[in-house]
Structure 1
Amino acid sequence: MSLSPAQGKAQELAARLPPLLLAAERVAATVAGGSHGRRRAGSGETFWQFRTAQPGDSLGAIDWRQSARAQGLFVRETEWAAAQVVGMWRDASASMAWRSSPALPQKNERAELLLLALAATLLKAGEKVALVSGGLPPVTGGTALERLALALDQDGAALPPPGRLPRHTQRVLVSDFLMPLAEIEAALRPLAAEGGGGHLVQVLDPAEETLPYRGRIRFLGLEGEGEMLARRAEDLRVPYAKALAAHRDGLAALARSLGWDFAIHHTDQPPQMALLALHQRLSQPRFERRRC
């Protein structure tokens, strides 16, 4: 009896998930020794806000003075208390399922590993993780990492759609970001308007950085762009490098305009390097990042 496509995909994921989670845990364990955790604001630099009281809030958490001024009950939160959720997204488009050499991971594999390793680190610190798309609400606890991995596998958006996440959720978006800048900006600005800050990680294969090819090469688009025959691929190297640099400058400028961070990671580099840098950026209080 043959399996349906859905059953086959489920079996494939079931076989892939344990080693993937183990790899993520190993990367997270390596990084844990080099990070200092998320820094809580001290008494001299507390940044706070009010939010509407919700079921489960204790009476002691309610700010009665603010509640008396307004119609309703309000809870006063510190910056730390308001920033406990990290929303994640990785590009699932066809261009991510590529590598220039069998010795390298595909870009989507590295993106997935980075997010799951980051999630493992955050979950151990008591944080919550979620999908930016809303496909997984904020979760924590022993099964959260597996739930995130399963949800990521079903999250097929080529650009992050707006989801319903708590205010002040920080967002980590991993992609090759090789789509037009206008499309990227149209997707990111609604997310940035929700507050909370964001972190863009551009994952590229080293061949996409250097275009190391020579001679007659046929380039095939992975997302319906068609094909291009280069009779001397080496002649494309300089104009390609200029175009990539201009695109990357645009990405960095867009991130700055949103108050977000931008970083680059190549798949021939250890994932620990990118994860440690990303975790350190997440550890900075938002008001501290805005002064940078």
Structure 2
Amino acid sequence: MLTPEHLHHLRNLSLAARQAAEGFLNGAHASRRHGAGMEFSQYRPYQPGDDLRRLDWRLAARSDRYYLRESEIDTSLTVHLLLDASASMNHRDDNGLTKLDYARLLLGALAYLATQQGDAVGLSILSPGGLRHLAPRADARQLPRIYHALETAEATGHFPAPETLAPLTARRQRALTVCVSDLYEEGTEINSLLTRLRATSGDVLLLHLMAHNELAFSYQGAVTFRDLETGQTLQIDAGPQRAAYQQQLQEWLRITAQQARRQGFDYHLLDTAQPLDAAMREFLRRRRLS
């Protein structure tokens, strides 16, 4: 299993996404309809009018009977990827990766997985400077477009205002929305956007990124923290504050997960020091249910 650091050090998002995703393709089928798909399922007797190209001629030679090979094929859908590109995503973990670095790898891998399933994939990068949106498409050129948009994305400012995000919910389009965010917000702007998207598009998978040094509070001694979005600073002695911090963090995570699920989101917490497999497994599970 490739670690996020190994994938990041490839310095090639296309290659990293493919390497991270390929191990998860087998068995990732959204339905059990039978047809002319890629994965063999069963035989059935030939009937007049069937496509002769699907006949198993070797079986016919052995048995003097004609059978067609049926396969399990996917029911394609629309996958809409959302990247929170506010400044808090510049937080750097002890492994050297920022949350934005991890999000690029994760969304690249999910885009690759969805494309391999025949889905139409779109990407929206949410930043205060404006909405960067690639409409969902299922053509061969969409993946390079998504990779380029992710590679050139920068995390700046606050989470964008509702008027900036209005085009995302302007029309109804059935889709599986996958949002990658650290859920750092002034009020409830992220939750409000996802609530509107669930109403207009359907299923929402919320992947909550937290750096390992945030989760474990691995800091030592006197530390100065700076809010990446407001610029405010706080100086503390890490040791005496560790227990209280971790208690408050666990309570916040519990409430955050509870509220997200109450809103109907499929919520999952991700540690940016961990491989991408857990998030991809949840994506494929959610896709099968969509």
Q: Please tell me whether the aligned partners of residues 96 and 176 of structure 1 are also in contact (alpha carbons under 8 angstroms).
A: yes
Task: State yes or no: 1:236 paired with 2:237.
Answer: no
Query: Structure 1 residues 238, 218: closer, same or farther in 2, change over 3 A?
Result: same
SS at match of 1:138: strand
Residue of structure 2 in register with 1:11 after alignment:
none
Residue of structure 2 in register with 1:260 after alignment:
265
Residue of 239, 244, 252 corresponding to 1:247: 252
SS at match of 2:180: strand
Residue of structure 2 in register with 1:150 after alignment:
148
Distance in 2 separating the partners of 1:272 and 1:122: 15
SS at match of 2:188: helix
Matches within 5 A, 1:207-222: 207-222=213-228
Deviations 1:69-89 (A, max 9, x none): xxxxxxxxxxx96x7111111
SS at match of 1:270: coil
Matches within 5 A, 1:15-26: 19-26=12-19
Distance in 1 separating the partners of 2:248 and 2:171: 35
Distance in 2 separating the partners of 1:155 and 1:257: 32
Query: Structure 1 residues 183, 245: closer, same or farther in 2, change over 3 A?
Result: farther
How far is the alpha carbon of 1:250 from its aligned partner? Answer: 2.8
Q: Please tell me whether the aligned partners of residues 95 and 222 of structure 1 are also in contact (alpha carbons under 8 angstroms).
A: yes
**Which stretch shifts more, 267-276 or 157-166?**
157-166
Distance in 2 separating the partners of 1:171 and 1:129: 10
Distance in 2 separating the partners of 1:41 and 1:181: 44
Residue of structure 2 in register with 1:195 after alignment:
201
Q: Please tell me whether the aligned partners of residues 177 and 201 of structure 2 are also in contact (alpha carbons under 8 angstroms).
A: no
How far is the alpha carbon of 1:17 from its aligned partner? Answer: 10
Q: Please tell me whether the aligned partners of residues 17 and 105 of structure 2 are also in contact (alpha carbons under 8 angstroms).
A: yes
Distance in 2 separating the partners of 1:193 and 1:92: 23
How far is the alpha carbon of 1:30 from its aligned partner? Answer: 1.7
Residue of structure 1 in register with 2:109 after alignment:
117
Normalising by structure 2, what TM-score?
0.70
Structure 1 gaps, min length 5: 1-15, 43-79, 286-292
Residue of 175, 182, 185 corresponding to 2:191: 185
Q: Please tell me whether the aligned partners of residues 31 and 288 of structure 2 are also in contact (alpha carbons under 8 angstroms).
A: yes
Residue of structure 1 in register with 2:180 after alignment:
174
Aligned residue type for 2:262: S
Residue of structure 1 in register with 2:127 after alignment:
none
Greater Rg by CA: 2
Residue of 261, 267, 278 corresponding to 1:273: 278
Residue of structure 2 in register with 1:126 after alignment:
118
Query: Structure 1 residues 222, 18: closer, same or farther in 2, change over 3 A?
Result: closer
Structure 2 gaps, min length 5: 1-8, 35-73, 125-130
> How many residues are matched?
229
Q: Please tell me whether the aligned partners of residues 28 and 284 of structure 2 are also in contact (alpha carbons under 8 angstroms).
A: no
